[in-house]
Amino acid sequence: MTAARTACAAGSAVFGWDVGGAHVKVSLADSSGMLRDVAQWACPLWQGLEHLERAIDHVFTRWPQANDAAAQHVITMTGEMVDLFPDRAAGVRALSGALAARLGPQTRFFAGADGWLDAAACGDRWRAVASANWLATAQWLATRVPDALLVDIGSTTTDIIPVVGGRVVAQGTNDAARLVSGELVYQGVVRTPLCGIAHQIVFRDQTTNVMNEWFATSADIYRLTGELWPAHDQHPAADNGPKTEAASRVRLARMIGFDAAEATETEWRRFAQRWRHEQLAILATNLSRVWIAHAELAGAPIVGAGCGRFLAAALAQHDGRDYIDFAGLAGVTPFCAGQADLAEWAATCAPGVAVALLAGMGASREAAQTA
Protein backbone atom coordinates (compact mmCIF):
# COMPACT_ATOMS: atom_id res chain seq x y z
CA MET A 1 0.00 0.00 0.00
CA THR A 2 1.02 3.64 -0.41
CA ALA A 3 0.40 6.80 1.55
CA ALA A 4 -3.07 7.22 2.94
CA ARG A 5 -4.79 10.49 2.02
CA THR A 6 -5.85 10.92 5.61
CA ALA A 7 -4.83 9.01 8.67
CA CYS A 8 -8.27 8.15 9.96
CA ALA A 9 -11.93 8.12 9.15
CA ALA A 10 -14.09 11.08 10.05
CA GLY A 11 -16.14 10.52 13.15
CA SER A 12 -13.73 8.12 14.86
CA ALA A 13 -11.59 8.58 17.96
CA VAL A 14 -7.86 8.82 17.30
CA PHE A 15 -4.91 7.53 19.33
CA GLY A 16 -1.79 9.58 18.71
CA TRP A 17 1.56 7.90 19.47
CA ASP A 18 5.07 9.27 19.93
CA VAL A 19 7.40 6.27 20.17
CA GLY A 20 10.76 7.43 21.48
CA GLY A 21 13.86 5.67 22.62
CA ALA A 22 13.08 6.22 26.29
CA HIS A 23 9.30 6.76 26.48
CA VAL A 24 6.07 5.94 24.69
CA LYS A 25 3.58 8.81 24.79
CA VAL A 26 -0.02 8.35 23.69
CA SER A 27 -2.98 10.71 23.43
CA LEU A 28 -6.67 10.08 22.87
CA ALA A 29 -8.73 12.60 20.89
CA ASP A 30 -12.43 12.20 20.21
CA SER A 31 -14.26 12.59 16.90
CA SER A 32 -14.71 16.32 17.45
CA GLY A 33 -10.98 16.85 17.82
CA MET A 34 -11.19 17.28 21.59
CA LEU A 35 -8.28 15.91 23.59
CA ARG A 36 -9.61 13.44 26.16
CA ASP A 37 -6.62 11.75 27.75
CA VAL A 38 -2.82 11.54 27.56
CA ALA A 39 -0.34 9.17 29.18
CA GLN A 40 3.35 8.31 29.10
CA TRP A 41 5.23 5.13 29.91
CA ALA A 42 8.96 4.56 30.31
CA CYS A 43 10.23 2.41 27.45
CA PRO A 44 14.01 1.77 27.39
CA LEU A 45 13.87 0.64 23.79
CA TRP A 46 17.62 0.15 23.54
CA GLN A 47 17.17 -2.86 25.83
CA GLY A 48 14.82 -4.67 23.46
CA LEU A 49 11.49 -4.59 21.61
CA GLU A 50 9.83 -6.35 24.52
CA HIS A 51 9.71 -2.94 26.24
CA LEU A 52 7.63 -1.58 23.37
CA GLU A 53 5.35 -4.60 23.61
CA ARG A 54 4.92 -3.93 27.31
CA ALA A 55 4.08 -0.28 26.64
CA ILE A 56 1.41 -1.34 24.14
CA ASP A 57 -0.05 -3.63 26.81
CA HIS A 58 -0.25 -0.60 29.13
CA VAL A 59 -2.10 1.35 26.46
CA PHE A 60 -4.64 -1.45 25.99
CA THR A 61 -5.14 -1.64 29.75
CA ARG A 62 -5.75 2.11 30.07
CA TRP A 63 -7.94 2.33 26.97
CA PRO A 64 -9.48 -1.07 26.08
CA GLN A 65 -11.02 0.49 22.96
CA ALA A 66 -7.51 0.98 21.58
CA ASN A 67 -7.42 -2.77 20.98
CA ASP A 68 -10.54 -2.74 18.81
CA ALA A 69 -10.07 -3.60 15.14
CA ALA A 70 -11.69 -0.29 14.20
CA ALA A 71 -9.42 1.80 16.42
CA GLN A 72 -7.50 4.57 14.61
CA HIS A 73 -3.78 4.86 15.48
CA VAL A 74 -1.42 7.53 14.15
CA ILE A 75 2.24 7.35 15.05
CA THR A 76 5.42 9.39 14.99
CA MET A 77 8.73 8.11 16.26
CA THR A 78 12.32 8.78 17.27
CA GLY A 79 13.02 5.30 18.64
CA GLU A 80 14.56 4.12 15.38
CA MET A 81 17.89 5.66 16.35
CA VAL A 82 18.55 3.56 19.47
CA ASP A 83 21.49 1.18 19.31
CA LEU A 84 19.19 -1.84 19.34
CA PHE A 85 19.06 -1.38 15.55
CA PRO A 86 22.02 -1.46 13.12
CA ASP A 87 20.79 1.72 11.42
CA ARG A 88 17.79 4.03 11.27
CA ALA A 89 16.22 2.34 8.24
CA ALA A 90 16.16 -0.96 10.09
CA GLY A 91 14.75 0.80 13.14
CA VAL A 92 11.86 2.35 11.22
CA ARG A 93 11.04 -1.00 9.62
CA ALA A 94 11.17 -2.87 12.92
CA LEU A 95 9.09 -0.34 14.82
CA SER A 96 6.48 0.22 12.13
CA GLY A 97 6.09 -3.52 11.68
CA ALA A 98 5.81 -4.25 15.38
CA LEU A 99 3.32 -1.44 15.96
CA ALA A 100 1.12 -2.33 12.99
CA ALA A 101 1.08 -5.99 14.04
CA ARG A 102 -0.27 -5.04 17.46
CA LEU A 103 -2.45 -2.05 16.60
CA GLY A 104 -4.11 -3.28 13.42
CA PRO A 105 -4.70 -2.25 9.82
CA GLN A 106 -5.85 1.27 10.67
CA THR A 107 -2.34 2.22 11.84
CA ARG A 108 -0.69 5.11 9.97
CA PHE A 109 2.73 6.75 10.36
CA PHE A 110 3.45 10.47 10.15
CA ALA A 111 5.84 11.27 7.28
CA GLY A 112 5.72 15.06 7.00
CA ALA A 113 5.29 16.16 3.38
CA ASP A 114 4.86 12.50 2.38
CA GLY A 115 1.59 12.37 4.31
CA TRP A 116 0.47 9.34 6.28
CA LEU A 117 2.01 5.98 5.43
CA ASP A 118 1.03 2.45 6.26
CA ALA A 119 3.68 0.10 7.65
CA ALA A 120 4.48 -1.40 4.25
CA ALA A 121 5.35 2.01 2.81
CA CYS A 122 7.62 2.91 5.72
CA GLY A 123 10.36 0.58 4.55
CA ASP A 124 11.15 2.49 1.35
CA ARG A 125 10.27 5.93 2.73
CA TRP A 126 11.89 5.56 6.12
CA ARG A 127 13.70 8.89 5.91
CA ALA A 128 10.36 10.73 5.98
CA VAL A 129 9.23 8.78 9.05
CA ALA A 130 12.45 8.75 11.09
CA SER A 131 12.58 11.27 13.95
CA ALA A 132 9.76 13.39 12.54
CA ASN A 133 8.00 14.01 15.85
CA TRP A 134 9.29 17.60 16.08
CA LEU A 135 7.79 18.31 12.65
CA ALA A 136 4.39 16.96 13.70
CA THR A 137 4.32 19.29 16.69
CA ALA A 138 5.48 22.28 14.65
CA GLN A 139 3.04 21.62 11.79
CA TRP A 140 0.10 21.55 14.16
CA LEU A 141 1.39 24.62 16.03
CA ALA A 142 1.63 26.49 12.72
CA THR A 143 -2.15 26.11 12.34
CA ARG A 144 -2.64 27.98 15.61
CA VAL A 145 0.18 30.56 15.90
CA PRO A 146 1.54 31.98 12.62
CA ASP A 147 4.86 33.28 14.02
CA ALA A 148 6.42 31.43 16.94
CA LEU A 149 9.41 29.62 18.32
CA LEU A 150 8.53 26.13 19.45
CA VAL A 151 10.76 25.07 22.34
CA ASP A 152 10.07 21.46 23.31
CA ILE A 153 12.31 20.43 26.22
CA GLY A 154 11.98 16.78 27.13
CA SER A 155 13.76 14.27 29.30
CA THR A 156 16.69 13.96 26.88
CA THR A 157 16.53 16.50 24.06
CA THR A 158 15.35 19.98 23.14
CA ASP A 159 13.75 20.96 19.82
CA ILE A 160 13.84 24.64 18.82
CA ILE A 161 11.66 25.08 15.74
CA PRO A 162 10.86 28.34 13.92
CA VAL A 163 7.37 28.93 12.53
CA VAL A 164 6.94 31.93 10.20
CA GLY A 165 3.76 32.93 8.40
CA GLY A 166 2.02 29.71 9.41
CA ARG A 167 4.81 27.57 7.94
CA VAL A 168 7.54 25.50 9.56
CA VAL A 169 10.82 27.01 8.33
CA ALA A 170 13.34 24.76 10.04
CA GLN A 171 16.74 24.69 8.32
CA GLY A 172 17.30 21.03 9.16
CA THR A 173 15.08 18.21 7.95
CA ASN A 174 16.82 15.40 9.83
CA ASP A 175 18.68 15.02 13.11
CA ALA A 176 22.12 15.45 11.59
CA ALA A 177 21.18 18.76 9.96
CA ARG A 178 19.24 19.97 12.98
CA LEU A 179 22.23 19.38 15.23
CA VAL A 180 24.22 21.64 12.90
CA SER A 181 21.55 24.38 12.86
CA GLY A 182 20.92 24.38 16.62
CA GLU A 183 17.33 23.23 16.13
CA LEU A 184 18.15 20.00 17.98
CA VAL A 185 20.07 20.15 21.25
CA TYR A 186 20.83 17.05 23.28
CA GLN A 187 19.86 18.62 26.59
CA GLY A 188 16.92 17.44 28.72
CA VAL A 189 15.71 17.72 32.30
CA VAL A 190 15.76 14.04 33.33
CA ARG A 191 18.32 11.85 31.55
CA THR A 192 21.15 14.21 30.58
CA PRO A 193 24.41 13.33 32.37
CA LEU A 194 25.77 16.37 34.17
CA CYS A 195 29.17 15.99 32.52
CA GLY A 196 27.29 16.69 29.28
CA ILE A 197 26.19 20.08 30.59
CA ALA A 198 29.48 21.55 31.83
CA HIS A 199 33.11 20.48 32.14
CA GLN A 200 33.78 23.18 34.71
CA ILE A 201 31.44 24.71 37.26
CA VAL A 202 31.51 27.12 40.20
CA PHE A 203 31.15 25.82 43.74
CA ARG A 204 31.81 27.99 46.78
CA ASP A 205 33.11 30.77 44.53
CA GLN A 206 35.73 28.53 42.98
CA THR A 207 35.77 27.10 39.49
CA THR A 208 36.31 23.36 39.58
CA ASN A 209 36.67 20.69 36.95
CA VAL A 210 33.75 18.27 36.64
CA MET A 211 34.25 14.50 36.71
CA ASN A 212 33.44 12.89 33.37
CA GLU A 213 31.49 10.10 35.02
CA TRP A 214 27.81 9.15 34.97
CA PHE A 215 27.46 10.09 38.63
CA ALA A 216 24.41 12.33 38.26
CA THR A 217 21.80 13.38 35.72
CA SER A 218 19.75 16.49 35.12
CA ALA A 219 16.90 14.99 37.16
CA ASP A 220 19.10 15.54 40.23
CA ILE A 221 19.26 19.25 39.42
CA TYR A 222 15.55 19.72 39.10
CA ARG A 223 14.65 17.60 42.10
CA LEU A 224 16.64 20.08 44.16
CA THR A 225 15.19 23.16 42.43
CA GLY A 226 11.70 21.69 42.89
CA GLU A 227 10.82 22.03 39.18
CA LEU A 228 10.70 18.36 38.12
CA TRP A 229 7.21 16.91 38.39
CA PRO A 230 7.65 13.50 40.08
CA ALA A 231 5.46 11.77 37.50
CA HIS A 232 7.99 12.75 34.82
CA ASP A 233 10.83 11.14 36.76
CA GLN A 234 10.38 7.70 35.20
CA HIS A 235 13.95 6.43 34.70
CA PRO A 236 16.43 5.12 37.29
CA ALA A 237 18.90 7.50 38.90
CA ALA A 238 22.51 7.31 37.71
CA ASP A 239 23.45 5.05 40.62
CA ASN A 240 20.08 3.25 40.66
CA GLY A 241 19.57 4.82 44.08
CA PRO A 242 16.59 6.67 45.56
CA LYS A 243 15.10 9.58 43.64
CA THR A 244 14.98 11.88 46.64
CA GLU A 245 16.51 15.26 47.40
CA ALA A 246 18.97 13.68 49.82
CA ALA A 247 20.13 11.13 47.27
CA SER A 248 20.38 13.84 44.61
CA ARG A 249 22.68 15.85 46.87
CA VAL A 250 24.94 12.79 47.17
CA ARG A 251 25.11 12.40 43.40
CA LEU A 252 25.74 16.10 42.74
CA ALA A 253 28.54 16.10 45.32
CA ARG A 254 30.28 13.22 43.57
CA MET A 255 30.52 15.27 40.38
CA ILE A 256 33.11 17.52 42.04
CA GLY A 257 34.77 15.08 44.45
CA PHE A 258 32.72 15.93 47.53
CA ASP A 259 30.50 14.01 49.91
CA ALA A 260 27.08 15.47 50.55
CA ALA A 261 27.83 15.89 54.27
CA GLU A 262 30.64 18.34 53.45
CA ALA A 263 28.17 21.11 52.56
CA THR A 264 24.78 22.28 53.73
CA GLU A 265 21.48 21.59 52.04
CA THR A 266 21.35 25.27 51.10
CA GLU A 267 24.74 25.05 49.42
CA TRP A 268 23.73 22.01 47.41
CA ARG A 269 20.50 23.69 46.37
CA ARG A 270 22.53 26.69 45.26
CA PHE A 271 24.84 24.31 43.40
CA ALA A 272 21.84 22.81 41.61
CA GLN A 273 20.84 26.31 40.55
CA ARG A 274 24.33 26.76 39.10
CA TRP A 275 23.86 23.64 36.96
CA ARG A 276 20.44 24.97 35.91
CA HIS A 277 22.10 28.21 34.85
CA GLU A 278 24.65 26.32 32.74
CA GLN A 279 21.99 24.25 30.99
CA LEU A 280 19.80 27.28 30.38
CA ALA A 281 22.78 29.09 28.82
CA ILE A 282 23.26 26.24 26.33
CA LEU A 283 19.60 26.43 25.35
CA ALA A 284 19.68 30.23 25.10
CA THR A 285 22.68 30.10 22.76
CA ASN A 286 20.90 27.70 20.43
CA LEU A 287 17.63 29.62 20.61
CA SER A 288 19.50 32.71 19.42
CA ARG A 289 21.07 30.74 16.57
CA VAL A 290 17.61 29.70 15.40
CA TRP A 291 15.66 32.93 15.60
CA ILE A 292 18.40 35.20 14.29
CA ALA A 293 17.97 33.61 10.85
CA HIS A 294 14.37 34.87 10.75
CA ALA A 295 13.86 38.60 11.30
CA GLU A 296 10.12 38.00 11.70
CA LEU A 297 10.78 36.12 14.92
CA ALA A 298 12.61 38.91 16.75
CA GLY A 299 9.59 39.47 19.00
CA ALA A 300 7.70 36.22 18.45
CA PRO A 301 6.35 34.24 21.39
CA ILE A 302 7.89 31.04 22.66
CA VAL A 303 5.54 28.07 22.72
CA GLY A 304 6.71 25.71 25.43
CA ALA A 305 6.26 21.95 25.36
CA GLY A 306 7.84 18.95 27.05
CA CYS A 307 8.39 18.05 30.70
CA GLY A 308 11.12 20.71 30.89
CA ARG A 309 9.08 23.57 29.50
CA PHE A 310 9.64 25.49 32.72
CA LEU A 311 13.00 26.26 31.13
CA ALA A 312 11.23 27.43 27.95
CA ALA A 313 9.26 29.85 30.13
CA ALA A 314 12.53 31.03 31.66
CA LEU A 315 13.99 31.61 28.19
CA ALA A 316 10.93 33.66 27.23
CA GLN A 317 11.25 35.78 30.36
CA HIS A 318 14.96 36.32 29.74
CA ASP A 319 14.33 37.49 26.16
CA GLY A 320 11.25 39.56 27.02
CA ARG A 321 9.01 37.34 24.89
CA ASP A 322 5.46 36.19 25.49
CA TYR A 323 5.14 32.59 26.60
CA ILE A 324 2.40 30.22 25.42
CA ASP A 325 1.92 26.76 26.86
CA PHE A 326 1.26 24.04 24.29
CA ALA A 327 -1.54 22.56 26.38
CA GLY A 328 -3.54 25.76 26.14
CA LEU A 329 -3.31 25.70 22.36
CA ALA A 330 -4.56 22.11 22.46
CA GLY A 331 -7.64 23.28 24.34
CA VAL A 332 -6.60 22.17 27.82
CA THR A 333 -5.91 24.54 30.68
CA PRO A 334 -4.69 23.69 34.18
CA PHE A 335 -7.05 26.32 35.59
CA CYS A 336 -10.17 24.39 34.60
CA ALA A 337 -11.53 21.96 37.15
CA GLY A 338 -10.12 18.48 36.75
CA GLN A 339 -7.78 19.41 33.88
CA ALA A 340 -4.49 20.10 35.68
CA ASP A 341 -3.01 16.64 35.10
CA LEU A 342 -4.34 16.48 31.54
CA ALA A 343 -2.75 19.86 30.75
CA GLU A 344 0.58 18.72 32.18
CA TRP A 345 0.60 15.53 30.12
CA ALA A 346 -0.71 17.23 26.97
CA ALA A 347 2.24 19.63 26.94
CA THR A 348 4.69 16.92 27.96
CA CYS A 349 3.55 14.58 25.18
CA ALA A 350 3.11 17.27 22.53
CA PRO A 351 4.11 15.20 19.44
CA GLY A 352 1.66 12.43 20.35
CA VAL A 353 -1.06 15.03 20.82
CA ALA A 354 -0.10 16.79 17.59
CA VAL A 355 -0.36 13.71 15.35
CA ALA A 356 -3.80 12.91 16.77
CA LEU A 357 -5.02 16.46 16.14
CA LEU A 358 -3.43 16.66 12.68
CA ALA A 359 -5.05 13.37 11.71
CA GLY A 360 -8.41 14.58 12.95
CA MET A 361 -8.08 17.82 10.99
CA GLY A 362 -7.34 15.86 7.81
CA ALA A 363 -10.34 13.61 8.30
CA SER A 364 -12.58 16.60 8.94
CA ARG A 365 -11.40 18.35 5.77
CA GLU A 366 -11.95 15.22 3.68
CA ALA A 367 -15.44 14.77 5.13
CA ALA A 368 -16.31 18.41 4.36
CA GLN A 369 -15.07 18.07 0.77
CA THR A 370 -17.18 14.97 0.14
CA ALA A 371 -20.31 16.19 1.93
Q: Are strands 302-305 and 148-153 parallel, antiparallel or unpaired?
A: parallel
DSSP string, 205-265: TEEEEPP-SSS-BHHHHHHHHT-S-GGG--S--TTS---SHHHHHHHHHHTTT--GGGS-H
pTM of the full structure: 0.93
Distance CA(327)–CA(263), nearest Å, equals 40
DSSP string, 104-146: -TTEEEE-GGG-EE-HHHHTTTHHHHTT-HHHHHHHHHHTT-S
Q: Which long-range contacts (CB under 8 A, 24 or more apart) does 261-267 make?
A: 263/204, 267/204
- The answer to whether the Cα torsion of 252, 185, 95, 342 is positive or negative is positive
* pLDDT at site 7: 53
CATH code for the part of the protein at 194-280: 3.30.420.190
Domain range 14-136+333-370, CATH class: alpha beta
Per-residue tens of pLDDT for the chain, all 371 residues: 233 334 555 557 899 999 999 999 999 998 788 899 999 999 999 999 999 999 999 999 999 999 998 899 999 999 999 999 999 999 999 999 999 999 998 899 999 999 999 999 999 999 999 999 999 999 999 999 999 999 999 999 999 999 999 999 999 999 999 999 999 999 999 999 999 999 999 999 999 999 999 999 999 999 999 999 999 999 999 999 999 999 999 999 999 999 999 999 999 999 999 999 999 999 999 999 999 999 999 999 999 999 999 999 999 999 999 999 999 999 987 666 568 899 999 999 999 999 999 998 764 454 443 34
CB 33 within 8 A of CB 355: no
| 299-to-27, 251, 336 alpha-carbon distances in Å | 32, 40, 29
Given this chain, do its domains 14-136+333-370 and 194-280 carry the same CATH topology? Answer: yes
The distance from CA 9 to its chain's CA centroid, rounded to whole angstroms, is 27
CB 21 within 8 A of CB 36: no
Domain boundaries, the chain: 14-136+333-370, 194-280
